[in-house]
Chain A
Amino acid sequence: MTTTFAFLDQFGDAIDFIFNERESPAGGSQVGGLGELWDLMWPHLKLSGAAMGIAGLASVPLGLWLGHIGKGGFLAINVSNVGRAVPSLALIAFFVAYLGLGFLNLTVALVLLAIPPILTNTYTGTRQVDRETVDAARGMGMTGAQIVRRVELPLALPLIFGGIRVSAVNVVATATIAPLAGVTTLGDPIINVNTYGDEGRLAAAIVVALLAVLTEVTLGAVQRAVTPRGLKLTSAGKRRHTFPITRREATS
């Protein structure tokens, strides 16, 4: 009992840490409890939200524009391949070493991490809008801007949100190592285990995992909600297990 299932006790302690305060193993201060976890989660959400907001505002319009004029595909698609090859820890370390610690520098690093999937998916989504549909819109007298806003954007939305989903989960996950850059997030109990103890570290891992799954599920629901009804009808009969990652690669 004590050997095989000893790990259950550790998970029990970790759950207890989430709900109840206790004295820090390092002494001197109280750690744990919902209040403290919220104090760690709030900067985590703020950091992730800021990075995602900036990345979205930068890459969705750019991807739409490149997709609309049909240029820059090499850049828009390969930025993802390059982005994948740069480890998030290396990127953050690079920012820390060259620009220093702090919220702003870390936000910029996370923005760079978040841009590639959104940019690639927005470009791909815009490009794969049926050219006949675009011609029909032009034939109805729509201007370029109207075509982007009223035809290409709605039809590309599912794929754009697919990219946002991939980025958001990645950013929420990477924000866990933010304490390395001097920003306190849910990763603090993981990095500074001496203050929080083993149960605090495990508790933080549980909360981070739940937060990432929740982000994925929420954005998945948003993705379904923003998909135009006509698009749902036509795609229902086709393969239903397509996913931004494979589609991106399949089109590149």
Chain B
Amino acid sequence: MLELAQVQIRDRTDTCESSNGFCPDWIADNLDRYVDPFFQHAYLTVMAVAIGFVISFALAIVAYKRRWLINPVTQVTGILYTIPSVAAFFLLLPITGRGNTTALIALVSYVLLIIFRNILTGLDNVPNETKDAGRGMGLTDRQLLWRVEVPLALPEILAGLRIAATTTVGLATLAFFAGAGGLGEQIFADITFKSNVVVAGGLAVLLAAVLDVLILLVQRAITPWTRAATAR
């Protein structure tokens, strides 16, 4: 029953620590406490975005050719996006139990809409002239999609992944409700202790920033033409 018991993580005899203070000494001594939760947090985020990307990409490619699918897919993923993740974790618990699976299902269902819309917007924004040029060169529909439309949609697709990644870092702080740990578990362990809150919260923000920059670097590397365009 008592799954979310708050644990004692500090020394009550120390004046700084017992007054909930911001204690550099405590932080230096206890940094190792945050290493595993940090990597668990990173794992949840990366897995959720990766799985979400695969599903959304498939949905977007299908819906791109069959336009009537756009509305139903948007509505269904829209509802999944709207359901608060805390609620989603507990709605899934009776079915999938505590652990990474439950956390990942909830996180993936949240990012579907974000990535789906960005992929579709990216594909729709490919200029008709470019597609015509591709067809004029004798490309089949399939070749046109993979060699022209998808590559040109990459900046928007990766922009969607950046939003999805930073948002998922935030939501994954609540994954401990589903028994999947992460930095949120550390925050919750002692929410009134400034040192703890600053380190755990700071690491979450750092993780979001690192993932954001990583995806941006990937984008720069695989879409060299966008740099030429923005360097004008």
Question: Which residue, of A87, A94, A187, A216, has the highest number of chain B Cβ atoms within 10 A?
Answer: A87
Please give the distance in Å from B198's CB to the nearest CB on chain A: 7
Contact assessment for A194 and B2 in the assembled complex, using a CB-CB cutoff below 8 Å:
yes
Contact assessment for B205 and A85 in the assembled complex, using a CB-CB cutoff below 8 Å:
yes
B88 within 8 A of A: yes
Q: Which residues of B59-96 have CB atoms within 8 Å of chain A's CB atoms? A: 70-71, 74, 78-79, 82-91, 93-95
Please give the distance in Å from A252's CB to the nearest CB on chain B: 9
Contact assessment for A85 and B169 in the assembled complex, using a CB-CB cutoff below 8 Å:
yes
Q: What chain B residues lie within 8 Å of A190 (beta carbons)? A: 86, 90, 177
Binds B, one of A30-38, A56-64, A200-208: A200-208
Q: What chain B residues lie within 8 Å of A250 (beta carbons)? A: 121, 156, 159
Contact assessment for A97 and B191 in the assembled complex, using a CB-CB cutoff below 8 Å:
yes
In the bound complex, how far is the Cα of B184 from the Cα of A6, in angstroms? 30
Please give the distance in Å from B64's CB to the nearest CB on chain A: 11
Contact assessment for A239 and B174 in the assembled complex, using a CB-CB cutoff below 8 Å:
no
Contact assessment for B1 and A194 in the assembled complex, using a CB-CB cutoff below 8 Å:
yes
Q: Which residues of A41-85 have CB atoms within 8 Å of chain B's CB atoms? A: 81, 84-85
B25 within 8 A of A: no
A86-B205, A176-B84 given; 17 more Cβ-contact pairs under 8 Å: A84-B208, A89-B170, A90-B173, A94-B198, A97-B197, A177-B86, A193-B3, A204-B90, A208-B86, A209-B87, A241-B70, A241-B121, A245-B117, A246-B118, A249-B159, A249-B160, A250-B156
Interface set of B (CB-CB < 8 Å, partner A):
1-4, 20, 70-71, 74, 78-79, 82-91, 93-95, 113-114, 117-118, 120-121, 124, 156, 159-160, 162-163, 166-167, 169-174, 177, 184, 187-188, 191-194, 196-198, 200-201, 204-205, 208-209, 212
